[in-house]
Structure 1
């Protein structure tokens, strides 16, 4: 297993470097001068040139890139143009807010997804099955921003059950967690249903029933245990995607997390901050994929034997 872990880490290194190179090039070919944006429109050109030299922006792109790689390895993503602060410290301040949102969304999606998927499998082709799968399909199909705005309008603006925005209390996390977790809950519910239905056709399920076990013990003790292997893998991957993909949710609900940092960096052309958030979220996704592979190998001994 250790050999497999090291192999996946080595494979991830070129992916990370490729992402850094891509975002580095894209930010440099976008029209406009970041120094002019930072200093304002009516600044003298001589001052702009001086600041550009001090920041190393007058150097060839390949030199800037290798310097950035060297500093990033040491955990230094540069200094924010807009905030004039170390990018790493800014990201680490915003990251706990994203983690809190992602964990709340994950708990919501896991509980709702697994429970509704099980019920839909047990009540196959009945009213509850069609209802739950319809809601799951809606969650998978609807854009996040649409769900967020509808939730805000109904439950915050009209019914006033929850705050419209903010992040300083548990009530503030309810709507953002539902919005961020709805898509994942739909995917988990659909996969849980299909896996449970598939497992229920296996021989050991018929054997368990022949022994006289009650149906709920057959489903929970035998069917669900084996049906959850691919679902658990999806759940681990979704944690990484929630941590890195909460841009819209954080922006709509005013949560100062990693996603909102990236949006603000794009608006102000703050290249170091945007690069830092992209690299940081890429690392999270890679770590999430690695964790999912490890978790699957732990749950299924056959994977360890093949590795």
Structure 2
């Protein structure tokens, strides 16, 4: 176990290092001048040049990256060009909101997707299964911003029972969580259904039924244990999907989280914040995949960490 953890940690560092290089190059290759955005379109060129020098943007790109990594190793994520605040402070103000939203979306995915997938497998090729498959296709195809705007128009504004947007209590999380979770719910439903259909056709399931094991126990103690493995795998990758979804979801609902901050930073060419949000998302993905590997071995002891 210890050697496995060490190998994974080394691999995680390499992955994060590679992501930082790619993100840095893409961010700084984007058209536009952050110094010009800071001082305004009418500022003289001499002022723009002075700001570029103070920010270190007039140095060669490799030198800028070396300085960035040096600050990063000291726990310094830099200073926001647009907000004039430390990036760590900006992230700290919004991280809790995004974690709550991502958790809410994940709960919506699980409590709807997995039971519906099992239900679809039990009624495979029946009318209920066809209806669920159609609804899953709609859920997967529905753009996040379209569904979010529909909820705002018809639920928040039309019925007046939930806030239109912003952050606050649990009521502010309901519509964004549903918006974020619907697409993932559809994936879980389809994934769980196909996995359970395959497992239900295995020899050991037929043997359990032949020995008179109650149908409910066959499903809960035999089929679901192996049927859940693909869903657990997807749960790790789902972290990346959630972070991608929060950008649009938080923007639609004016929800003050990391996703909205990332969108605003891209609009303002705020490179330190862009880098920090991407690296933060990468850390969550790496950690989630590591946890999934451990959970895998718990669900199915036949899988060895070595």
Per the TM superposition, whether the score is higher than 0.5 is yes
CA offsets per residue over residues 199-233 of structure 1, 9 Å max, x none?
11222222322232321221112211221122122
CA displacement at 1:104 relative to structure 2: 0.7
- Other-structure match for 1:285: 285
The alignment status of 1:171 with 2:171, answered yes or no, reads: yes
CA displacement at 1:164 relative to structure 2: 1.7
CA displacement at 1:137 relative to structure 2: 1.6
Whether the 8 Å contact between 1:38 and 1:81 is mirrored in structure 2 is yes
- Other-structure match for 1:185: 185
The alignment status of 1:84 with 2:84, answered yes or no, reads: yes
Alpha-carbon distance between aligned partners in 2 of 1:200 and 1:32, rounded to the nearest angstrom? 57
The alignment status of 1:236 with 2:223, answered yes or no, reads: no
- Other-structure match for 2:272: 272
- Other-structure match for 2:47: 47
Whether the 8 Å contact between 1:34 and 1:270 is mirrored in structure 2 is yes
Unaligned runs of 5+ in 2: none
Alpha-carbon distance between aligned partners in 1 of 2:22 and 2:222, rounded to the nearest angstrom? 47
Alpha-carbon distance between aligned partners in 1 of 2:87 and 2:237, rounded to the nearest angstrom? 26
CA offsets per residue over residues 31-79 of structure 1, 9 Å max, x none?
3321121121222332222222222222221111011011112221100
- Other-structure match for 1:263: 263
Normalising by structure 2, we get a TM-score of: 0.94
CA displacement at 1:240 relative to structure 2: 4.4
Task: Mark the CA change 1:61 to 1:239 in structure 2 (over 3 Å): closer, same or farther.
Answer: closer
Whether the 8 Å contact between 1:110 and 1:235 is mirrored in structure 2 is no
Alpha-carbon distance between aligned partners in 1 of 2:267 and 2:229, rounded to the nearest angstrom? 42
Unaligned runs of 5+ in 1: none
CA displacement at 1:244 relative to structure 2: 5.0
Alpha-carbon distance between aligned partners in 2 of 1:286 and 1:239, rounded to the nearest angstrom? 9
Alpha-carbon distance between aligned partners in 2 of 1:244 and 1:76, rounded to the nearest angstrom? 25
Q: How many residues align?
A: 306
- Other-structure match for 1:152: 152
CA displacement at 1:107 relative to structure 2: 0.8
Whether the 8 Å contact between 2:247 and 2:262 is mirrored in structure 1 is yes
Alpha-carbon distance between aligned partners in 2 of 1:26 and 1:220, rounded to the nearest angstrom? 48
- Other-structure match for 2:22: 22
The alignment status of 1:138 with 2:138, answered yes or no, reads: yes
CA offsets per residue over residues 243-284 of structure 1, 9 Å max, x none?
454100000011111110011111112111111111211221
Whether the 8 Å contact between 1:244 and 1:284 is mirrored in structure 2 is no
Normalising by structure 1, we get a TM-score of: 0.93
Whether the 8 Å contact between 1:78 and 1:87 is mirrored in structure 2 is yes
Whether the 8 Å contact between 2:226 and 2:300 is mirrored in structure 1 is no
CA displacement at 1:235 relative to structure 2: 1.8
After TM superposition, what 4+ stretches of structure 1 lie above 4 angstroms from structure 2?
none
Residue aligned with 2:114, SS: helix
Alpha-carbon distance between aligned partners in 1 of 2:203 and 2:31, rounded to the nearest angstrom? 64
- Other-structure match for 2:120: 120
Whether the 8 Å contact between 2:27 and 2:274 is mirrored in structure 1 is no
- Other-structure match for 1:162: 162
- Other-structure match for 2:298: 298
The RMSD of aligned alpha carbons is: 1.7
Alpha-carbon distance between aligned partners in 2 of 1:130 and 1:51, rounded to the nearest angstrom? 61
Task: Mark the CA change 1:21 to 1:220 in structure 2 (over 3 Å): closer, same or farther.
Answer: same
Residue aligned with 2:168, SS: coil
- Other-structure match for 1:250: 250
CA displacement at 1:165 relative to structure 2: 1.0
The alignment status of 1:215 with 2:212, answered yes or no, reads: no
